[in-house]
Chain A
Amino acid sequence: MTHTVLIGLGVLIAILTVVAALGLLPSLRIVPDNTHFDFTRFRRISFPISAALSIVAITLFFTHGLNLGIDFKGGTLLEVKAKSGVADIAAMRTTLDALGLGEVQLQQFGGPENVLIRVAEQPGGDAAQQAALQKLRGALGDSVDIQRTEVLGPRVAGELLAYGMLGLMLAIVAILIYLWFRFEWQFALGAMIANVHDIVLTIGFMSISQVDFDLTSIAALLTILGYSLNDTVVIYDRIREMLRRYKKMPMPQLLNESINSTLSRSIITHVTVTLALLALLLFGGHAIHSFTAVMMFGVVLVGTYTSIFIAAPILIYLGVGEHREDAPETATPAKKNKA
């Protein structure tokens, strides 16, 4: 089935390619040429909104907390498939509750035969976790196929969490240093603020949605960091170029021009990234579901917004171009273009 569909799509692409190569397609302009939207003015709205959202996210983090996955919390996780084709969750719960392992979480996923079993970390160190696994395996017996097992002792879980957090900090600092070398310090600081903003909001999202916070979440956060910065850097690059070229343009206008001229690229790139993520979200299976969901939120929703509404306008507050005289608009690129 899938193969036929794929072959069909392949043929479609081939045809489209030929048509496109011959120039028979109309050119798609997602963002009209000569867009001049006043993004910078929105800083009076976007900054308070972002500040409020960040506070909400932080509050959520402290009240709701994150749903720590087994990587960081320790314990046992089993993914089982009922041999009969339909898992009897109620019976399973009764059997597993009788083991005296504390709270046993059962969760169906994918189909009626798949069950995810989670058991919290047992008191008594690493050996106790292994004993719990042994008990679980014994109790489940031959009625299920065990597809996946994860057992983490308390110390390893603690280390992974510490390591993950350290990595996140390390990445932010490393990127900051790189930006500091490539741009002026205000840019590095602006990117860093935008960065932290992205991570804070994404953590808020993880807190609301209660997706498992595990090693792959750290991977997602780092990727979000990378791509959000990617976007920010593209805009900053343009701002720097404009600063050199138009010595007398007022800062808000210069920022607007920069954002507008890179807007088409920002949007097209986000469409392609969204398409790729969408495919992963819909077809990639549950193993990477939370990973892609978090990434979708961070890259697509937050990342784009941040680079346009936070990272660029914040440069005004950080004093970029302060020394510039607010000269009359004699050299705007619009006029120059028309010339």
Chain B
Amino acid sequence: MSGGAVLELEGITKRFGALVANDDVTLSLKKGEVLALLGENGAGKTTLMNILFGHYAADAGEVRVEGRPLPPGKPRAAIAAGVGMVHQHFTLAGNLTVLENIVIGSEPLWKVGSDRDGAARKLMQLSATFGLPVDPEARVGDLSVGERQRVEILKALYRDARILILDEPTAVLARPEAEQLFRILRGMAQGGLSIIFISHKLHEVMGASDRVVVLRGGRVVAERATAETNPAELAELMVGRAVARPKREAHAAGAPVVVAKGLSASAGGGMALDAVDFEVRTGEILGIVGVSGNGQAMLGRVLSGLARLDAGTITFDGRDIARITPRAAVRMGIGRVPEDRHAEGVVGDLAVWENAVLERVRDFSRWGFVRRRAAEAHAAGLIARFDIRGAGPATRTRLLSGGNMQKLILGRNLAAGPRFLLANQPTRGLDEGAIAAVHQELLMARSEGAAILLISEDLEEAVGLSDRLQAISKGRLSEPIAAEEVDARRLGLMMAGVWETRDAV
């Protein structure tokens, strides 16, 4: 056992058929350390952590906790050894309370009744020690994602975890929540816990870890002390070549294409819109920034033709589009990139060519019959033009990576040369290489004269791409400010709902 290592992985290899997900991976974690496992989607990070936690059995190699080997493929043994895992997709039951979710699985099945009070006491004590406030009696279904994640972490701590593994913990969090999470993790590490978090976001790796292990193609390609590296180096190590997000070049915007005045919409459940005004001009990107859940989803639904307005007008080249249908939007040359590409962007079980033409299948038909040749040729064109990798027209769309799926969705919208493009969270969950590609496409469409409305929770992205920015807060939209005038403080205030209105109405 090397000096102070609480966890060692040695020579871990795991194959899925022909794919080598992990190839001879060796790493160790010291007590009280925060280790970042950095890598692109598909680099084998999650597989490695699943092996460590016993969800998968490795084909070769060994996992040792505090010097003792863990039996492969036994999550219970991992839990007993003090390993806790917080999955990317939470494993909580929405209809149970926080306390019930935490106790579940650590109580014997056949026990009648349970020691609720004792469990609640232990939970509140953990909550106080680690600064993770929760209400034990709240129903998990009513909690925000940030709170649910806290419950997941407490669940691991409740089972006396000394080693905590977090798989993409910030994938579902807004920036402030993410920063808070890392403060808490930092405190835990000082309290003696050892932490591994998986990420593909450079800034959080730089900000929150002591040490970084970079995984690429299933192999460890580098290990750095965080203090001795920089984002550019890490990006290059992660992708395997130098990547840079494209830069926006200033150019003059033209006439307004989409003009929205006084949009109000109320939704069952989600945040409504309240007297929203904006206009998007040709050749410009208007960025809508804000913390998630402040009305972005509703704005996207209204502009996509999926939700009805209670009040307000939207015009597109002077034509009224307030009550537009999705099909009419496609016909008029409005491109739409949905917020959730799996749920709304593509039909995963259809072929790539079918998804490529789904919006305009009537243009690829004669007498009601689909002209399959033409549709496949169109899909092949998109694949070539937008660099969609790992796919042919006949590939099942579900098999594409997130980035390539997004390129397909962007491609089918951009191929028609839209006058207006709605890009709703276009890079959420994508890795660095794919983000650069998506940004490139958006900027290209902008320079070709498209008016683009970018809705994004990623500030860096919104500020980098947009010509003008508006913040959304509780369904209301701020006045626009030019990208050149943006500073972090002002943007932060705007996102919190503090902005000057020109004239009080």
Mutual binders A and B:
no
B residues within 8 Å of A by Cβ?
Answer: none
